[in-house]
A and B are shown apart, each in its own frame.
Chain A
Amino acid sequence: MNAAHIHLLLNHFPTIGFCIGIIVFIVAIARKSDDLLEAGLVIFFLTAALTIATYVSGNDAQAALTDTPGVSAALVKVHESAALVAFAFMQATGFFSWIGLWMLRRISRVASWNLAVITILAIVTFGLMARAANIGGEIRHAEIQDAQANSLDPDAPTLARSWGKYVEDHTWVWPTCETLHFVGLSMLFGIVLTLDLRMLGVGRNALSFEAMYQLLPLGMLGFTLNLITGIMFFVAMPKQYTGFLFFLKMMLVVFGAVNVLYFMVCKAPWTVNDGVDAPVFTKLVAASAIIIWIAVLFCGHMLPWLGNSF
């Protein structure tokens, strides 16, 4: 199994998985069902998280396919640019879906502005993702290639390369993104530590889960800042982010997403009132959150030593 296998396996989530999400979401709105709405939002959020791993695995897949006969390098580049745009809209959909999920528990409904934003983003994302997937398919399937595929200029600058060039020419961009990446990291850690250590017993007497739940969007804000700055690093210098360690970091981010869903969707944490000791399973999930995010930091930090960064 190589990187191309992983990319081919993961690419079903942003396409087929997302399609299922849209169907559930539309039926939920038509039937005014909060349960289905919750399910649709969960699918959107998880699909967005898996799309992070899918997008970055394309980097290694491209490297694995270099010099393979029958693979059009120009087509790979067109696919990459299409995927980047689709990726951005997918993450926006995931972000607003998460906000919707959060509201569903906080105020027992999702604001109509949020539903409208998610609907528009989901439809646009679906179109963009289908286009990216279609071009991706053409890379290996000559029988479905457009006639003009052969006339594509392999040296045309992609969206990603233009950004890479901008970062190269403006030396302030990289350190600024790094600093913001640290700020986001700290915000995320602050919320992970306070929420999850409370579940493990710190400040138990005067803190309920329901109160701590209000803090979650601050952690999400920190994560979003890091997703944006992180993808800026990746797109500017993809050669630094090849190999197992970086992919592991992205998979750990997916685990982090599943972890936070436990607290938003499952009932057990909500039984934790002032002075109540959390159930054992909730404690395990809380402890694993702290471990997951420290492991994410570990993988990123060690890239120059154990990975391929310089």
Chain B
Amino acid sequence: MINVLQTIQDSDFCQWVRGSESLFAFAGILLVHTIGMGFVVGVNATINLRILGFAPAVRLSALEKFFPVLWLGFWLNAATGVILLAADAVNKLSNPDFYVKMVFIALAVVNVKMLRSTVFRDPLIDKVPPSGKAKVLAVTSLILWLGAITAGRLLAYVGSPTPVLK
């Protein structure tokens, strides 16, 4: 398994990602990953906080229109995340913190789906205040994304760091 990872990591593309001084290599891919984070977590947090009672004049049902923005951020990060993982496969996959981050993200995505069916598929949306279940899901969503951000940031500090040119 390590050999497979090593082969991926040593491919020309992955070496370019790690080693090139081009801004489109590591610097640019990580930039897109950070912007994507702002999109996915930001739109999520806005919807969660609205469910929890902030900005009551904003119609919850209309916030569903922003889900494509959320998913745009998510898929940008899935794509850039795969590249960043491939470029540092051996280190990342032997780093427990990486799995912690993946679990947070997997649970957060399940949470988004549950929130969608609980809140946005409810025919009484905007007619009655969000249910207790919806509020619990909003809180867990905020906690899970906070966990994902924290675990992601700590990837730069725990385990072996990615060797990149600056």
Residues of A within 8 A of B (CB): 175, 178-179, 182-183, 185-194, 197, 202-203, 205-208, 210-212, 214-215, 218, 294, 297-298, 301-302, 304-306, 310
Contacts and interface: CB of A to CB of B under 8 A. Distances in A.
A212 B54 CA distance: 11
A203 B153 contact: no
13 contacts: A175-B153, A179-B154, A185-B34, A190-B38, A190-B43, A202-B65, A202-B69, A203-B63, A206-B61, A297-B34, A302-B31, A304-B27, A305-B23
Contacts, number: 112
B46 A218 contact: yes
Given A194-B63, A305-B166, 12 more contacts: A175-B156, A179-B153, A185-B37, A185-B38, A207-B59, A214-B56, A215-B55, A218-B54, A297-B38, A302-B23, A305-B23, A310-B166
Nearest to B145: A186
B35 A190 contact: no
A186 B42 contact: yes
Tell me whether chain A's interface is mostly helix, strand or loop, or mixed: helix
B83 interface: no
Contacts of A205: 62
B66 A194 contact: yes
Contacts of A294: 35
A173 to B, nearest CB: 12
Contacts of A175: 153-154, 156-157
A193 B67 CA distance: 12
A304 B39 contact: no
B146 A183 contact: yes
Contact of B149 (A182, A189, A191, A310): A182
B57 interface: yes
B65 A301 contact: no
A206 B166 contact: no
B66 A202 contact: yes
B44 A190 contact: yes
A51 B152 CA distance: 33
Contact of A190 (B23, B45, B152): B45
B76 to A, nearest CB: 13
Contacts of A187: 42, 45
A223 to B, nearest CB: 12
A305 B157 CA distance: 19
B8 interface: no
A301 B30 contact: yes
B128 interface: no
A179 B149 contact: yes
A304 B166 contact: yes
Nearest to B56: A214
A203 B62 contact: yes
B49 interface: yes
Given A175-B153, A183-B149, A297-B35, A210 B42 contact: no
Nearest to A205: B62
Contacts of A211: 55, 57-59
Contacts of B43: 190, 193-194
Contacts of A301: 27, 30-31, 34
B153 A191 contact: no
B91 to A, nearest CB: 18
B41 interface: yes
Interface in B14-56: 23, 27, 30-31, 34-35, 37-39, 41-46, 49-50, 54-56
A214 to B, nearest CB: 4
Nearest to B60: A206
B27 A305 contact: yes
B120 to A, nearest CB: 13
Given A175-B153, A202-B66, A305-B166, A191 B42 contact: yes
A287 B102 CA distance: 33
A214 B55 contact: yes
Interface string B133-166: 0000000000001100110111011000000001
